[in-house]
Every structure is written in structure tokens, then in C-alpha cells.
Structure 1
Amino acid sequence: MPDPGDRGERRVAWVTGASRGIGRGVAAALGGAGWTVYVTARSTAAARTTGLPGTVEDCAAAVTAAGGLGVPVPCDHRDDTAVTAVAARIAAAHGRLDLLVNNAWGGYERLAAGAWDEWNAPMWQQPVELFDAMFASGVRAHYVALARSAPLLIAAPGSLAVTVSMAIPGSGQHAGAPGAPSAPGAPGGPAYAMAKAADDRLAQAAAAQLREHRVASVAVHPGWVRTETVLRYAEHLDLNGSQSPAGVGRAITALAADPQLMTLTGRALAVAELASRYGIDVTA
């Protein structure tokens, strides 16, 4: 059965890891701007992956309720065949992709299950599986989705690939002005810092190859975002001035509509920087 929608009236986005958190916030914001949004994640109405709320069906319904068109697609982003099938489905229905938001991320599963002390332990007390999950289910998943999406992005000059990352103080990563990291603390330790640095380099290297096709590639660095997992540990965190998933979504939606988008390609952009650039409140 072909996907609903059309080929020309709505811009088309693919948001990975969108059953909850930042992904859901981005998808819903795009819906509010009238986009068709393909929503992928492992959590479905039939099979939830954690005890946290949220499914691809819920998110797609929120996109449609906001004024867009949400298309839920269950997808394990560790499965290359499944990711390739999503790209093929978008190609068959639309022939292009205007925005990829690489947000799916591995390594949070143990934290979501309550492993706060482990998450904040020194690296020699953390399981190596934490590193493996971040790179296999995070960085590698982002690489595969971007590689499979590239021909569709190239078919839509002026399109954008966003890699959701984070600046880790002390790691050498800086979004926006030098010396201005976008989030406090160094959660997850060296494994997390390495994975996020790799994400930034992916966005930068992809930008170099996509520029001639008028496709922009950026990393976006949220600050503390009030996701379901973060709120679970609110007592341990200072969330004053923190961002909402919807606020991050509004920032990325505005970025995708920026007529000067190509001047930003290859950069790591703090959500706070985008909020200032577009006059958006990302805390609400």
C-alpha cells in the first residue's frame, strides 16, 4: 500500500529515534510547519523497548495533529536492511528527502533502566558494552542512515542532514563560538565524549562531500533537554534554563527553512545559538 501524501506540496523529513524525547519534539515541530515526517524507532504499540512512554505511532499521530502528515515506520537502526528499506520507501513515495534528522541513539538503555551510578562512574568501572552500544547503535546508525539518505537529499537541492550530537566540555568540541560548549558536565565519561565527537566529524566530513550538491550537513548540540530519561533524574540535575524537546524541534525546523543554510554547512551549531539566530524560545 503506497504511503499517503503527495510528491510536491509538502516537504519530506525523516526523523530517527522519534518515539520520544528530542526526536518526538523535532517531528512534532515539523508537523506544525506542515511537513510529511517519517518517524522511525524501535518502540511501537505492539512492542515497547523500555518502560518509558512513547511509540512511533504516538509520534506520527502528534505530527498529523499538528498539521503535518506523520508516517510511523518501526525500525531498528542497528539493522542495515531495515534502514535501507525505509530509504527505499521514501524514494518510492516521494523521490526525494528534504531533511534527515539523525537522532536515534544507543547506550541510554541502561540509564533509562535506572543505572544512574554506572552512567556517572569512571570509565574503569563502566561496562565496555556501554561504549559498544554508543558506537553501534549511535554513531554507526547515524552513518548508515545518512549514507542511505544521501541520494534522496541530493535529489532535493537545498536539503539538510542534521546529526543530533552534544558538546562535551573538556573534549575539544565546541558549538558556536570557540570555548562555548552547549551543555554542562560530561555525562557518560570518555565513551560518550568519543561518540559525540565522532558524530560531529561525521557531519563535517559529509558536508564536504555534499556541498557541491547543495545539501547542507550540520551537527546540532542541544543543552540539557527535558526528555523522559533526563526528567527521571531531575533531582540530580540543575535544569534551570534547560530546553524542551519541542524547543529543540522548533530550532531545527527554523534551521531547515533558513535561506542562508549553505553558509552553515559543516558546522556544529548549539541549539542556544539557533534560538538567538531565529528568535525562538527553546525552553518552553
Structure 2
Amino acid sequence: MRDSLKGRVALVAGATRGAGRAIAVELGRAGATVYATGRTTRERRSEMNRPETIEETAELVTAAGGEGIAVAVDHLVPGDVRALVERIDADHGRLDVLVNDIWGGDVYLEFHRKLWDFPIEDGLRMLRLGIDTHAITSNAALHLLNRTPGGLVVEMTDGTAEFNADYRADAGFFYDLVKVSVQRMALAQAEELRPLGGTAVALTPGWLRSEAMLELFGVTEQNWRDALSAEPHFCISESPAYVGRAVAALASDTEVARWSGRTLSSGQLAQVYGFTDTDGSRPDAWRYIPEVERAGKPADATGYR
């Protein structure tokens, strides 16, 4: 897909680390100009308090062959988001791809905690970070994206529509509400964009080997399989590049409208577009998790990657 997005402009909102960073890099690898936004810069950190920065992401985009532009933005501040879109308009006069990957709520996530026992301030902060940010960003950016027919909106979520049809009791009320809401937002935007030639989808990675996840298991991307002794089902995990390649494939597809309104997964799209993860495999986590892990079977990714 190298140069398939040459001349195209993308905004990856929430590109500091993890899936957002990888999406920005893979769009750059395909030749796009990519605006990488987030709250953590070399001068200050967000409440996530992690070392990755948007400047690093922009540099990786440029090194991959695109043009990376880092812009510090708090996507909860409508005026800041409008200023960002005005800058993109002034610089390029167009926006072809919008990826809403803003989250930052992991610091508030508490597994297996009931709604009535959850600190309400933390829960509401999760809703603001995971829902309000997406709505604010689309509200500002779609004016520019609609100027050129064929625009694509990707709402990043966690879990397929089928998987999330059941309540995610382990993650709890607020996390479940955020991720299902994002899928509904993709459906709503698809309906509104369709008459103008635009497309909106929701997209989920599988078990993502983000920087934080690798640190949790005490491994790196190079030796991640060492974590299988502690968590055997980690065998189905995928690198962030995998979902990045999924977004690049969608953005390069002249018939992407066929997916509009749907919730897609990296593993599903790999089978359609033929891309692989960095190790040459095609992990399908959202088939593996219900069929193997939640079914109580021994960890075995054979036939699932």
C-alpha cells in the first residue's frame, strides 16, 4: 500500500501511543500527511503519566515515508479542536481520514467493581474521555472532511458488536458504556455521511501489545512470547501495527463504503485485504476469545493466527 495515500490528509486523534501511534505510522507508510494529536508532549504529560509523546509519533510517521505533524490538543476542549481543524484547512484545504482513537481512561479502570461501588467522579471522567472527546472531534472535523467526497471516519473501540452484545461485567459499567457508545457513534455518522459520499466504521484491535501491556508482563515486542508462561492466552495477542495496517487498508480501499456503519476487527480485515502482523501471521482474537479462552479450553492459537 506504499504511496496509496499520497496526497491524502489524515487526523489521528489520540496518537500518542498504542493503536493510535501505529495507525498514524501506517497511514504515513502509505504516503499520507498525518496530524498526530494528544495531550502528552515532550514538555508535559497527561494524567496517564506515560513517557510516549506526540512528537515521537510524528517523527515515526515521517520516517515511515509520510509527513507527520504533532499538535498538542485536549479533545475535551471544543475551541482547541476547532483551532486544529482550522489549521488543517489552512495547511491543506482538505481532510480525508479522521481516526477517533481518544481514550486515556485506563487509569480509572477497575475490574470487577459494581456500578454502585465505583467512584462516580472516575466513572464520569471515563465517559468524558471516551465519548465526549469523539463527539467533539467529529463535530469540528466533519465540516472539512465532507468537503471532499470519499472521506472516512474510523471510531476506535474495543470488542466486536457481537462480543459487546453481552455486558462486559469484568470491565464494568463505565468501560462497557464507552465502548458500545463508540460503536453506535460510528453507525450514526455512517447514516449522516452516506448522502455526502462519506463512510464511517468502528474498528477494534484484538489483544493489543501496547506499551503498557508489554510493561505489565515485563516483556518487549521482541520477546513478547516470554509472557505466555504467566498468561498462556497472550498467544493470540497482536502488535499495534496490525490494526494500523487495517486502517491503512480501509483508507486505501476505493470501495470502503461497503463497510459503512459496521464494527470491524483487525483480524477480520486481514482476511479480506491480505495484510499481516509484523511476524507474518494473521491473529483473529475476537474469534479466539469466545471459542477458546472463554470456553475454558487450553491456550492454543493454532488456526487462529
- TM-score bracket, normalised by the shorter chain, equals 0.7 to 0.9
Q: Unaligned 5+ residue runs, structure 1?
A: 1-7, 112-117, 175-179
Task: Kindly indicate whether residue 265 of structure 2 is the aligned counterpart of residue 273 of structure 1.
Answer: no
Distance 2:72 2:133 in 1: 15
Distance 2:119 2:66 in 1: 42
- The range that moved more, 121-130 or 247-256, is 121-130
Q: How much is the aligned-residue C-alpha RMSD, in angstroms?
A: 2.3
Distance 1:283 1:62, change over 3 A: closer
Distance 1:12 1:149 in 2: 12
Residue number in structure 2 paired with 1:160:
152
Distance 1:280 1:65, change over 3 A: same
Residue number in structure 1 paired with 2:178:
195
Distance 1:51 1:98 in 2: 31
Distance 1:97 1:203, change over 3 A: same
Distance 2:278 2:18 in 1: 14
Match of 2:95 among 94, 97, 101: 97
Residue number in structure 1 paired with 2:296:
none
Task: Kindly indicate whether residue 5 of structure 2 is the aligned counterpart of residue 12 of structure 1.
Answer: no
Residue number in structure 1 paired with 2:23:
26
Q: Is the 8 A contact 2:108 2:123 kept in 1?
A: no
- The range that moved more, 33-42 or 223-232, is 223-232
Q: Is the 8 A contact 1:106 1:133 kept in 2?
A: no
Distance 1:187 1:80, change over 3 A: farther
Residue number in structure 2 paired with 1:47:
44
Distance 2:267 2:128 in 1: 29
Displacement, 1:212?
A: 0.8
Distance 1:163 1:16 in 2: 10
* Percent identity (aligned): 40
Task: Kindly indicate whether residue 238 of structure 2 is the aligned counterpart of residue 246 of structure 1.
Answer: no
- Tell me which structure has the larger Cα radius of gyration: 2
Distance 2:39 2:183 in 1: 24
SS in 2 for 1:87: helix
Distance 1:110 1:230 in 2: 16
Per-residue deviation, residues 115-170 of structure 1 (Å, max 9, x unmatched): xxx334333433223321222111110011111111111112111000001227xx
Q: Is the 8 A contact 2:146 2:198 kept in 1?
A: yes
Distance 1:106 1:92, change over 3 A: same
Per-residue deviation, residues 32-65 of structure 1 (Å, max 9, x unmatched): 1111000000000000224423101000000001
Q: Is the 8 A contact 1:32 1:63 kept in 2?
A: yes
Q: TM-score, normalised by structure 2?
A: 0.80
How many residues are treated as equivalent by the alignment? 262
Task: Kindly indicate whether residue 132 of structure 2 is the aligned counterpart of residue 140 of structure 1.
Answer: yes
Match of 2:143 among 137, 142, 151: 151
Distance 1:274 1:88 in 2: 33
SS in 1 for 2:235: coil
Q: Is the 8 A contact 1:242 1:283 kept in 2?
A: no
Distance 1:279 1:163 in 2: 22
Q: Is the 8 A contact 1:139 1:199 kept in 2?
A: yes
Distance 1:210 1:130 in 2: 33
Q: TM-score, normalised by structure 1?
A: 0.85
Q: Unaligned 5+ residue runs, structure 2?
A: 218-226, 280-305
